[in-house]
A and B are shown apart, each in its own frame.
Chain A
Amino acid sequence: MIALLRRDLILAIRAGGGFGLGLAFFLILVVLVPFGVGPSQAMLAAIAPGILWIGALLSCLLSLDRIFQLDYEDGTLDILATSPMPLEALATIKALAHWITTGLPLTLTAPFLGILLNLPWEANIWLIASLALGTPALSALGTFGAALTVGLKRGGLLISLLVLPLYVPTLIFGAETVRRGAEGLPATTPLMLLAGITAGTLAILPFATAAALRANLR
């Protein structure tokens, strides 16, 4: 399993665009927002938590269709499915690899982008905490969406349609945590709920992902 994780990470680095693409997209999105809504500092500070979270969400979406597609096309997925590794483990590792290449860098860079949006400094701790706790759920749900569409030629758009509604609870609690943090209100409650959703998602989704893979490989 560690071999699979290491392989996926090496591939992400060598194939190019694995780490950097999502991050660059996140940056561009955040830079574009002030052009759209105007440069007022107060306005930007008010919408910063939401923009940062939606940016993280969309950056996660960007690389979802590659999670299984490449392995499916070159026959690796067939062989992995017949290998001693259970498909549930495969699903978990794939989600973990996706998180390391997208969720983790997003979490680490979000505070710097928060500066651009005039996010209050005290909110950063909540921003990092909510992204660190929330993005694993985004990766697990995204892996599920990728498994549903692995047999399709152009599944990219469909993944977004399937996965984005599933992101709603995570987005709500994540952004709420940061918003409360920015306003100096106690933000532990939404953070706990966010962590709960992530824990539940990580526990259940690998089974759904494995079931979808099995149906698609038949």
Chain B
Amino acid sequence: MSIWEYANPKRFMQTSGWALPYLTVASAVCLVVGLVWGFFFTPDDFRQGSTVKIIYLHVPSALMAINAWLMMLVASLIWLVRRHHVSALAAKAAAPVGVTMTLIALATGAIWGQPMWGTYWAWDPRLTSFLILFLFYLGYMALWAAIEDPDTAADLTSVLCLVGSVFALLSRYAVNFWNQGLHQGASLSLDKEENVADVFYFPLLVSIAGFVLLFVALVLLRTRTEIRARRLSALRARERAS
């Protein structure tokens, strides 16, 4: 069978309804294990002290913030090319989750930044591009909210998502250029996980898995809600017509 069968809403509702409880439980388990392990059973970093432990929230949420946008991009393309409604609704459903992840990443970053760099916010390229990503999410969601006809809204938001992706990427590089231009050799770079020792690495992997599962579960749940909302409005329209 082909993957496109899941584009049939009935089929999607069946499968997602079946998968949702498992996903929810799995994500809860991963999150609890990853976070508890990370927070309580790893040693403090010799330089950063216990503040390093925010990494278990910060890195996974930042990862999902970007991946949520990528997922919206793919879903938008599927809608534009194959016109599967579930795909458009999934993109719509992912946006609020993505924006929440972006906010978590920004907030945890600020909390981490205060003890580490002595400031909540610095116009570091990485931080700045997340802020810009946040703005893109806002625009995308506002456009969905503003347009009444669901198909038109799906078309327009998909085009916006494509154009937005290109410009989000451009902004990323522009910001890099801009900040180097300001102060040569900026020192505010985060330790990448490649540099993190194994003790920190494994709980981090578990909590990343937890965030991925959480994202999938939330998006499925929200897509189901959107499909039900569509069904309601279709039934109402039918009632008005008869």
Chains A and B touch (C-beta atoms under 8 A apart): yes
Query: Footprint of B on A, CB under 8 Å?
Result: 144, 148-149, 151-152, 155, 158, 161-162, 164-166, 168-169, 172-173, 176, 179-180, 190, 193, 197, 204-205, 208, 211-212, 215-216, 218
Does B177 belong to the interface (CB within 8 Å)? yes
Task: List 24 A–B pairs whose Cβ atoms lie within 8 Å, in order of A's numbering.
Answer: A144-B163, A148-B159, A149-B143, A152-B146, A152-B147, A155-B146, A158-B143, A162-B160, A164-B135, A165-B164, A165-B168, A166-B164, A166-B167, A168-B132, A168-B170, A169-B173, A172-B171, A197-B170, A204-B163, A204-B166, A211-B159, A212-B156, A215-B152, A215-B155
Q: What are the interface flags for B141-172 relative to A under an 8 Å C-beta threshold, 1 for contact and 0 otherwise?
A: 01100110001100110011011101110110
Is B118 part of the binding interface, using a Cβ–Cβ cutoff of 8 Å? Answer: no
> 3 nearest interchain CB pairs?
A215-B155, A169-B174, A172-B174
- Quick check: is B138 within 8 A (CB to CB) of the other chain? yes
The answer on a CB contact under 8 Å between B142 and A161 is yes
Interface residues in B, total, Cβ within 8 A: 29
Q: Which of B161-198 contact A (CB under 8 A)?
A: 162-164, 166-168, 170-171, 173-175, 177-178, 181
Q: How far is the CA of A216 from the CA of B149 in the complex (A)?
A: 10
Q: How far is the CB of B200 from chain A (nearest CB, A)?
A: 34
- Measured between beta carbons, the chain B residues less than 8 angstroms from A211 are 155, 159
Distance (whole angstroms) from the CB of A166 to the closest CB of chain B: 5
B215 at the interface (CB under 8 A from A): no
B50 CB to closest chain A CB (Å) equals 36
Closest Cβ of chain B to A138, distance in Å, is 12
- Bound-state CA distance A209–B36 (Å) is 50
List, in ascending order, chain A residues with CB within 8 A of B115's CB: none
Question: For the complex, what is the distance from the CA of A205 to the CA of B160, rounded to whole Å?
Answer: 11
Q: How far is the CA of A216 from the CA of B152 in the complex (A)?
A: 6
> Out of B146, B147, B171, B177, which one reaches A176, CB within 8 Å?
B177
Contacts A165-B136, A168-B132, A193-B177; is A208 near B152 (CB within 8 Å)?
A: no
Tell me whether A166 and B177 are in contact in the complex, defined as CB-CB below 8 angstroms, given that A158-B142, A216-B152 are known contacts. Answer: no
For B164, the chain A residues whose CB sits under 8 A away are 165-166
Determine if B139 is an interface residue (Cβ-Cβ < 8 Å). Answer: yes
Given the known A-B contacts A152-B147, A162-B139, A205-B163, are A168 and B174 also in contact in the complex, defined by CB atoms under 8 Å? yes
How far, in angstroms, from A148 to B167 measured CA to CA in the complex? 16
Residues of B within 8 A of A212 (CB): 155-156, 159
Known: A165-B132, A212-B159. 6 other contacts (CB 8 A): A161-B142, A162-B139, A164-B135, A165-B167, A165-B168, A168-B171
Q: Are A216 and B132 in contact (CB under 8 A)?
A: no
Contact B170 A169 (CB under 8 A): yes
Query: Which secondary structure dominates where chain B touches chain A?
Result: helix
A166 to B163, CA, bound (A): 8
Complex Cα distance A147/B164, Å?
15
Nearest-neighbour CB distance to chain A for B55, whole angstroms, equals 28
In the assembled complex, the CB of A181 is this many whole angstroms from the nearest CB of chain B, namely: 12
**Cα-based distance from A165 to B171 in the complex (angstroms):** 9
B4 CB to nearest chain A CB (Å): 23
Residue of A nearest to B155 (CB): A215
A161 to B156, CA, bound (A): 15
With contacts A144-B163, A166-B163, A172-B178 taken as known, whether A151 is within 8 angstroms of B143 at the C-beta atoms is: no
Interface centre among A152, A158, A165, A173 (most CB of B within 10 A): A165
Contacts of A158 in B (CB 8 A): 142-143, 146
| Beta-carbon nearest neighbor of A207 in chain B | B159
- In B42-65, the 8 Å CB interface with A consists of none
Instruction: Give the residues in chain B near A149, CB-CB below 8 Å.
Output: 143, 146
Most buried by B among A152, A166, A208: A166
In the complex, chain A residues whose CB is within 8 Å of the CB of B156:
148, 212, 215-216
> Which residues of chain A have C-beta atoms less than 8 A from B143's C-beta?
148-149, 158, 162
Inter-chain contact A161/B170, CB cutoff 8 Å: no
Chain B residues with CB under 8 A of A161: 138-139, 142
Contact in complex: B167, A168 (CB < 8 Å): yes
